[in-house]
Amino acid sequence: MSTILTITNLTKKYGLLTAVNNLSFTIKKGNVYGILGPNGSGKSTTLGIALNVVNKTSGDFKWFDGNVTTHDALKKVGAIIERPNFYPYMTAYKNLELVCKIKGIDTSKILEKLELVDLIDRKDSKFQTFSLGMKQRLAIASALLNDPEILILDEPTNGLDPQGIHKIRALIQLIASNGTTILLASHLLDEVEKVCTHVVVLRKGEKLYSGRVDEMISSHGFFELKTEDSQKLVSFLEAHPLISKTVKKDDMVTAFLKEPISASEFNKQLVNSGIFLSHLVMRKESLEEQFLKLTDNTSA
Ligand code: ADP
Ligand code: MG
């Protein structure tokens, strides 16, 4: 799989403040990446550096195989890192025509892109009549005019109503399904969970996690168990191949799962070993709990 962007030990300081701290990650072709972190965690700064609008302090980034200059590489990158801004009195179509003229690309794709973002019926409406969601979709059409390898979006659903949010997320998935790699920054966990295949979690400019979204959320949960003979239970759990960790507190035993198993199957195994429970609850930390734990200042 070919590499689109490689970021290596990137650091950005604003005076005494370290906005991005020794950050490394790789963007491969064909995936949808999220940079996830609370406000101020360095998401926009990271995107800005890769797009050459913010100067790095140290470290490196390289586009594609590293054999093209950033200037040339950015011709194959579509990015929206600010609020969409077009000429208010001009129509959607005319605005995109102007973008083509400025960027030196031909106008042949305008209708196709307006169709893609579901604005074809509004192509002759003035930009100022558009809702924020429509403006954002027009910006996406604009960023796609030259069929970039990667589309970069900074908080693409900020400020939109639920319908607008849904539309943008569906559009991002549609664009990705057409083969365009996507990198988006978001402070919304559920956005990343819904839209992205891969995630880089940032806190105060530092990477806490990077990898597949489904692996981040694939904690299989744990059982809360009570029985009269806790010692026998703990011995059973410690020898069990699917249990990664056992914690006993008062008369409650918590058993963390390495792999999924149903509560009834687990209970059957216990009964077969002569262990009879007075309490059995299967629990799973929500992704939100995991994320909050991950980005909590006091942990990690
Ligand atoms: P995010 O996009 O995750 O909200 P940013 O990258 O915008 O985070 O900001 C990271 C940190 O850098 C924040 O503490 C922010 O206040 C600071 N910062 C961003 N831009 C500047 C700037 N131009 N001058 C000084 N500090 C900045
Ligand atoms: Mg930001």
Please state, for a pLDDT cut of 90, what percent of the chain lies above it.
75
Mean pLDDT of 87-111: 96
Q: How confident is the model at residue 293 (pLDDT cuts 50, 70, 90)?
A: low
Residue whose CB lies within 8 A of the most ligand 1 atoms, among 11, 45, 83, 202, for a mutation test = 45
The fold of the 222-283 domain, in CATH, is: Alpha-Beta Plaits (3.30.70)
Instruction: Summarize the confidence of residues 73-97 as an average pLDDT.
Output: 94
Closest residue CA from atom 18 of ligand 1: 19
Give me the mean pLDDT over the 159-175 stretch: 95
Angle between helices 132-143 and 162-177 (to 10 degrees): 20
Tell me how far apart the alpha carbons of residues 13 and 31 are, in angstroms, rounded to a whole number: 29
Token reading at 177: 């399904």
Averaged pLDDT for residues 183-209: 92
CA–CA gap between residue 92 and residue 13 (Å, rounded): 39
Task: Tell me the CA–centroid distance for residue 49 and ligand 1, in Å.
Answer: 12
Domain boundaries, the chain: 3-216, 222-283
Residue of the CA atom closest to atom 14 of ligand 1: 40
Query: Distance (Å, rounded) from C-alpha 26 to C-alpha 7?
Result: 6
Q: Determine if ligand 1 sits within 6 Å of the CB of residue 48.
A: no
Q: Which ligand is nearest to the CA of 203?
A: 1
Q: State yes or no: pLDDT of 225 exceeds 70.
A: yes
What's the pTM?
0.80
**Pair 248, 237: CB distance under 8 Å:** no
Ligand 1 within 6 A of CB of 42: yes
146 in ligand 1 pocket by Cβ < 6 Å?
Answer: no
For domain 3-216, give the CATH superfamily. P-loop containing nucleotide triphosphate hydrolases (3.40.50.300)
Residue 282 pLDDT greater than 90, yes or no = no
Between 287 and 260, the higher pLDDT residue: 260
| Residue type, position 125, single letter | S
Neighbours of 68 (CB within 10 A): 14
Ligand nearest to the CA of 46: 1
What residues does the ion ligand 2 have nearby, CB within 5 Å?
Answer: 43-44
pLDDT for 264 beyond 50:
yes
Better-scored residue on pLDDT, 260 or 73: 73
Mean pLDDT of 77-82: 93
What Å distances lie between residue 71 and 51, 55, 146, CA to CA?
9, 14, 15
The model's confidence at residue 19, banded by pLDDT at 50, 70 and 90, is very high
**Cα 19 to ligand 1 centre (Å):** 6
* Per-residue pLDDT, 232: 94
Average pLDDT over residues 13-27: 97
Least confident of 40-44, 202-206, 214-218: 214-218
pLDDT tops 90 at residue 246: no
> How large is the average pLDDT for residues 99-109?
93
Ligand 1 atom nearest residue 42's Cα = 6
Measured from the CA of 37, which atom of ligand 1 is nearest? 3
Among 12, 13, 17, the mutation site with the greatest number of ligand 1 atoms within 8 A of its Cβ is 17
Q: Give the phi and the psi of residue 279 in degrees, each rounded to 5.
A: -155, 130
pLDDT score for 121: 98
Lowest mean pLDDT among 66-70, 97-101, 254-258: 254-258
Say how far apart CA 40 and CA 20 lie, in whole Å: 10
Q: Which atom of ligand 1 is nearest to the CA of 47?
A: 6
